[in-house]
């Protein structure tokens, strides 16, 4: 990101979600982004992932300026290089676990047999080999997150963006999901995670503190956030 700003109109006034943010994330890095509600974390992630155009500035992934691409080419880049994990999972309720994981493979125009083979293998890796035909309503919250992770991995993305990936999970399941994300980073994937959970943030190689649209980088970012939140209280 270089000099990236994003402004919203809210109740008659302008709010800066991102304020002249400049940041470089190296290939293979694992970055957590922490900050109070409304600080711009989700806007940061969506802008970085090519889903929300900034008001000004440039966003480059692997040398390509995302918002100088046509919408079609930007969508292709996202599909090939970026995997998203959301707190709400965004599973299609009337599709099975297998069919949900097949969606990005279908969009990539793989044959049906190859779609099913790869989707089943990913669900097996998630420990859901016996849940292929279950719909989201027939799965626990933790199992639904595992299906979402399998779907995210379908096209083997080198960059993973996670928005509160443990926000709806119990502590044991959260630790399992964080362990899996660590495995993905160990495989060489770049991981950027937005979280309110200081335990989750501590798993990353470095932490960014985002407050009022501005960003701070460094080993003390998480502790500075906790101190500021205590001060607000």
Beta strands 82-86 and 60-61 are unpaired
Alpha helix stretches (DSSP H) within 4-110: 41-48, 71-81, 97-107
Asked, for residue 137, whether it belongs to a domain, the answer is no
67: which 2 tokens?
Answer: 């918002």
Angle between helical axes of 97-107 and 112-125 (0-180°, round to 10): 130
Asked, for residue 221, whether it belongs to a domain, the answer is yes
Asked, for residue 122, whether it belongs to a domain, the answer is no
Question: Which CATH number fits the domain that encloses residue 31?
Answer: 3.40.50.300
Q: What is the total count of domains within the chain?
A: 1
Asked, for residue 138, whether it belongs to a domain, the answer is no
Asked, for residue 150, whether it belongs to a domain, the answer is no
Asked, for residue 111, whether it belongs to a domain, the answer is no
Q: Spell out the per-residue pLDDT of the chain, length 233, in tens.
A: 999 999 888 777 888 889 999 999 999 999 999 988 778 888 999 999 999 999 999 999 999 999 999 999 999 999 899 999 888 889 999 999 999 999 999 988 999 999 999 999 999 999 999 999 999 999 999 999 999 999 999 999 999 999 988 887 888 888 999 999 999 999 999 999 999 888 899 999 999 998 888 887 654 444 444 444 444 43
Angle between helical axes of 171-186 and 141-152 (0-180°, round to 10): 10
Asked, for residue 147, whether it belongs to a domain, the answer is no
Give the range of the structural domain holding residue 219, as residue numbers without chain letter: 2-90+157-232
């Amino acid at each position: 990101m270089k000099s990236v700003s994003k402004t919203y109109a809210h109740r008659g006034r302008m709010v800066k979600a991102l304020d002249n943010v400049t940041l470089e994330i190296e290939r293979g890095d694992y970055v957590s982004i922490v900050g109070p509600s409304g600080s711009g974390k989700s806007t940061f992630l969506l802008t970085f992932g090519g889903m929300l155009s900034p008001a000004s500035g440039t966003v480059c992934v692997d040398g390509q300026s995302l918002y100088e691409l046509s919408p079609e080419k930007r969508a292709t880049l996202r599909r090939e290089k970026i995997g998203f994990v959301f707190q709400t999972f965004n599973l299609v309720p009337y599709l099975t676990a297998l069919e949900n994981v097949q969606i990005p493979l279908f969009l990539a125009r793989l044959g049906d047999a190859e779609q099913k083979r790869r989707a089943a293998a990913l669900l097996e890796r998630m420990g859901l080999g016996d849940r292929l035909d279950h719909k989201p309503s027939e799965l626990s919250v933790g199992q639904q997150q595992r299906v979402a992770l399998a779907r995210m991995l379908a096209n083997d993305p080198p960059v993973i963006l996670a928005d509160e990936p443990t926000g709806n999970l119990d502590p044991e399941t959260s630790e399992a999901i964080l362990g899996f994300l660590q495995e993905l980073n160990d495989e060489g994937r770049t991981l950027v995670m937005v979280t309110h959970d200081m335990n989750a943030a501590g798993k990353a190689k470095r932490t960014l503190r985002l407050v009022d649209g501005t960003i701070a980088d460094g080993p003390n970012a998480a502790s500075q956030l906790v101190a500021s939140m205590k001060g607000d209280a």
